[in-house]
């Protein structure tokens, strides 16, 4: 007989009745009747109830052993009487009558129980992650993560992609997030950087002629955490293809996501392919964000022209428009009968979020014509109200919120109002995965702080203007072949067709203030590689953690990560980051400066 087990804890059934089995696992839960004791034995696969009577020589030991101790049990499989069958358990028709009992590893009193669904403080959960991971829900999330990664790997391989590893110790890149640096012992004063993404490497792989590449790639960025963003490190399905245009990438990626979310999405409906394509500009207008939650049917409208009319007397908005601002309208269906407190609540909340305020008007009908109620209703003529309702596709009994400010701020506020309305009015259907592509990102944006033109996304993206016309074009109007994949309000992936033309690369960087020498200096390898025959190529890099989070129905990335760091970028289980020894520092030629207070 095997030393530890003949079966797992989810295997035995009536078929095994009468035979002797050996099981190993954790003591999940004990029910001690004094002279008769039940315990559930748990392993990765499931639970089996074991029973022992006081006549048994192991009885005292079993009574004393603490939950979560690991034990090996053997005994006869017996049928339960019909009134003691547990239908909630796979193995609930039988139980194991303990004939021998061995303790393999004892547990101390638990800082948090494995049994039950009670919530526990994250600090405790992270400190005792191995206990937290034994809990049913976490265990399932991590299994899901593994299955998702297997699915993706299999799919990529069957689609003709080759899986490669790229360096972890690499060079710092001057763009993007803050780098993690690793001191070099052999080159005192010099540092490696951990890759923020294998961006340049994967482009080199294309230039090296491998045609299609993918990798489940760790990415390191020294940025602060969020609920949907781990501090420090995360994983991407990094992929790149040669001789492709944007549409080719979409055609490869869409079926992957459709199948993945259909298979693992807990029966929620998934957007049919091809996914909707929304330009960045349209998305910012209609949804106030470049990661719209399309489960929410509310759309935002620009009503600047209506407010400008002579028969609208809203001077506050008119003044903002005169200063170059805009007015955005967010219709709130069937809310005109809501109490004043509802609207005041939104106004106060918006102010807390940094808005100047949130005007609103209630649409009612009189003799078939719209009239505007509410505090600012009186400032609109009947004609203006009609026009407003038409633009906003509003109906009787709808309310319309207004956000007026400079463009970016008006977009931001209208976007968060739309989100809040969708949620609070129960308009957002949470039984769906709504995918869309956000396309045509601007190549540049104006950096107000630095008073200069800067890249808005990836500087290696191909601009939608050719090299000949590039210098003649207003840089802020130049779009890029740059796209994001968005699902339910989360950015799932970013991607682009890359700029494979060194001549155009210099021009692109020049507009953002980099001379040819600087580009040669900072991207020496890239420029060199592009100068010896580079195929047109493009790809993307979906974030795996966020995908699993969506599939698991969670809104925190730590729920689907084995050993996450906390928000302060510390690993409470392993105790990182930690102080190096004097010897380590000496070898690395590093001296720690005391922080000034």
Instruction: Give the interface size with RNA as a residue count (CB under 7 A).
Output: 70
Among 35, 366, 367, 578, binds RNA (CB under 7 A): 35
Which positions ≥6 away from 585 have C-beta within 8 Å?
A: 591, 592
Is 450 a binder of RNA (CB under 7 A)?
no
Choose the binding region for RNA from 75-83, 293-301, 322-330, 543-551 (rule: CB under 7 A). Answer: 75-83
Nearer to RNA, 176 or 386 (CB): 176
Residue 359 contacts residue 315 (beta carbons within 8 Å)? no
Binders of RNA among 224-283, rule CB under 7 A? 224-229
DSSP-assigned letter for residue 552: H
Least distance (Å) between residue 544 CB and RNA: 15
Is 49 a binder of RNA (CB under 7 A)?
yes
Residue 459 CA to residue 507 CA, distance in Å, equals 11
Nearest to 125 by CA among 591, 590, 561, 583: 561
Residue 290 CA to residue 439 CA, distance in Å, equals 10
DSSP-assigned letter for residue 462: P
Nearer to RNA, 55 or 366 (CB): 55
Angle in degrees, 0-180, between the axes of helices 246-264 and 544-552, rounded to the nearest 10: 40
Among 8, 10, 20, 85, binds RNA (CB under 7 A): 85
Choose the binding region for RNA from 81-89, 246-254, 320-328, 418-426 (rule: CB under 7 A). Answer: 81-89
Task: Please give the C-alpha separations between residue 472 and each of 469, 478, 498, in angstroms, as whole numbers.
Answer: 5, 11, 21
Residue 400 CA to residue 331 CA, distance in Å, equals 4
Choose the binding region for RNA from 77-85, 320-328, 501-509, 527-535 (rule: CB under 7 A). Answer: 77-85
Is 69 a binder of RNA (CB under 7 A)?
no
Site string for RNA, 182-201 (x = CB under 7 A): --------------xx-x--
Backbone angles phi, psi at 249, to 5 degrees: -65, -45
How many alpha carbons lie under 13 Å from residue 554 in its C-beta half-sphere? 22
Residue 203 contacts residue 498 (beta carbons within 8 Å)? yes
Beta-strand relationship, 435-439 and 276-279: parallel
Beta-strand relationship, 47-53 and 94-105: parallel
Nearer to RNA, 301 or 455 (CB): 455
Least distance (Å) between residue 449 CB and RNA: 7
How many alpha carbons lie under 13 Å from residue 511 in its C-beta half-sphere? 24
Choose the binding region for RNA from 272-280, 293-301, 322-330, 450-458 (rule: CB under 7 A). Answer: 450-458
Least distance (Å) between residue 183 CB and RNA: 22
- 289 C-beta neighbours (distance < 10 Å), count: 21
Place of tokens 């074009």: 473
Residue 131 CA to residue 42 CA, distance in Å, equals 13
Among 6, 10, 89, 233, binds RNA (CB under 7 A): 89
Residue 63 contacts residue 79 (beta carbons within 8 Å)? no
Nearer to RNA, 173 or 335 (CB): 173
Residue 525 CA to residue 197 CA, distance in Å, equals 16
Site string for RNA, 148-177 (x = CB under 7 A): -------------------------x-xxx
Among 3, 55, 368, 593, binds RNA (CB under 7 A): 55
Choose the binding region for RNA from 6-14, 33-41, 149-157, 418-426 (rule: CB under 7 A). Answer: 33-41
Choose the binding region for RNA from 108-116, 135-143, 431-439, 573-581 (rule: CB under 7 A). Answer: 108-116
Least distance (Å) between residue 556 CB and RNA: 5
Choose the binding region for RNA from 2-10, 51-59, 314-322, 379-387 (rule: CB under 7 A). Answer: 51-59
Nearer to RNA, 231 or 359 (CB): 231
Site string for RNA, 539-568 (x = CB under 7 A): -----------------x-x-------xxx
Q: What is the per-residue DSSP string for 200-262?
A: HHHHHHHHTT--EEEEEEEEEE----BTTB-SEEEEEEEEEEES--HHHHHHHHHHHHHHHHH
Angle in degrees, 0-180, between the axes of helices 544-552 and 136-158, rounded to the nearest 10: 130
Nearer to RNA, 390 or 528 (CB): 528
Binders of RNA among 199-218, rule CB under 7 A? 199
Helix (H) or strand (E) holding 345: helix 340-352
Residue 199 CA to residue 537 CA, distance in Å, equals 12
Site string for RNA, 468-497 (x = CB under 7 A): --------------------------x---
Is 139 a binder of RNA (CB under 7 A)?
no
Is 459 a binder of RNA (CB under 7 A)?
yes
Is 406 a binder of RNA (CB under 7 A)?
no
List residues near RNA by CB under 7 A.
Answer: 29, 31-36, 38, 40, 49, 51, 53-55, 66-67, 80-81, 83-86, 88-89, 92, 95, 109-113, 116, 118-124, 126, 173, 175-178, 196-197, 199, 221, 223-229, 454-460, 494, 556, 558, 566-568, 570
């Amino acid at each position: 007989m095997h030393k530890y087990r003949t079966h797992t804890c989810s295997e035995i059934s009536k078929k095994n009745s009468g035979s002797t089995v050996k099981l190993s696992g954790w003591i999940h839960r004990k029910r001690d009747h004094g002279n008769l004791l039940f315990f559930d034995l748990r392993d990765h696969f499931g639970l089996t109830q074991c029973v022992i009577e006081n006549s048994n020589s192991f009885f005292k030991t079993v009574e004393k052993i603490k939950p979560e101790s690991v034990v090996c049990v053997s005994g006869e499989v017996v049928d339960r009487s019909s009134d003691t069958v547990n239908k909630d358990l796979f193995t609930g028709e039988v139980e194991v009558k303990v004939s021998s009992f061995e303790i393999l590893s004892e547990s101390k009193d638990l800082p948090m129980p494995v049994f039950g669904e009670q919530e526990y403080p994250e600090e405790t959960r992270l400190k005792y992650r191995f206990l937290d991971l034994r809990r049913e829900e976490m265990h399932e999330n991590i299994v899901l993560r593994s299955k998702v990664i297997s699915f993706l790997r299999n799919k990529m391989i069957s689609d003709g992609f080759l899986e490669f590893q790229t360096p972890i110790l690499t060079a710092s890149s001057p763009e993007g997030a803050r780098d993690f640096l690793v001191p070099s012992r052999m080159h005192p004063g010099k540092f490696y950087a951990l890759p923020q993404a294998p961006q340049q490497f994967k482009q080199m792989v294309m230039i090296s002629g491998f045609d299609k590449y993918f990798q489940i790639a760790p990415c390191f960025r020294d940025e602060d955490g969020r609920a949907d963003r781990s501090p420090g490190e995360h994983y991407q399905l990094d992929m790149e293809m040669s001789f492709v245009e944007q549409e080719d990438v979409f055609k490869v990626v869409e079926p992957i996501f459709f199948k993945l979310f259909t298979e693992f999405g807990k029966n929620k409906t998934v957007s049919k392919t091809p996914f909707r394509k929304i330009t960045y500009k349209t998305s910012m207008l209609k949804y106030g964000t470049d990661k719209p939650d399309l489960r929410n049917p509310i759309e935002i409208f620009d009503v600047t022209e209506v407010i400008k009319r002579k028969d609208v007397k809203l001077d506050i908005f008119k003044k903002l428009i005169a200063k170059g601002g805009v007015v955005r309208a967010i219709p709130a269906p069937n809310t005109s009968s809501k109490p004043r407190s509802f609207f005041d609540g939104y106004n106060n909340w918006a102010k807390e979020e940094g808005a100047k305020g949130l005007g609103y008007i209630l649409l009612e009908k009189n003799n078939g014509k719209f009239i505007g109620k509410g505090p600012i209703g009186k400032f609109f003529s009947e004609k203006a109200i009609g026009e407003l309702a038409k633009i906003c596709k509003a109906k009787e009994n709808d309310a319309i919120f207004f956000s007026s400010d400079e463009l970016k701020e008006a977009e931001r506020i209208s976007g968060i109002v739309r989100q809040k309305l969708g949620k609070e009015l129960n308009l957002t259907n949470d039984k769906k995965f709504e995918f869309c592509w956000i396309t045509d990102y601007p190549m540049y944006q104006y950096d107000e702080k630095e008073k200069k033109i800067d890249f808005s996304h990836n500087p290696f993206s191909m601009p939608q203007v050719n090299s000949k016309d590039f210098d003649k074009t207003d840089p802020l109007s130049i779009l890029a072949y740059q796209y994001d994949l968005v699902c339910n309000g989360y950015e799932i992936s970013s991607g682009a067709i890359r700029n494979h033309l060194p001549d155009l690369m210099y021009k692109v960087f020049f507009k953002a203030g980099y001379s040819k020498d600087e580009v040669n200096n900072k991207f020496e390898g890239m420029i060199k590689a592009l100068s010896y025959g580079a195929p047109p190529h493009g790809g993307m890099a979906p974030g795996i953690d966020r995908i699993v989070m969506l599939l698991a129905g969670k809104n925190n990335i730590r729920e689907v990560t084995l050993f996450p760091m906390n928000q302060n970028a510390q690993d409470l289980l392993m105790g990182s980051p930690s102080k190096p020894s004097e010897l380590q520092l000496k070898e690395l030629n590093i001296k720690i400066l005391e922080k000034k207070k």
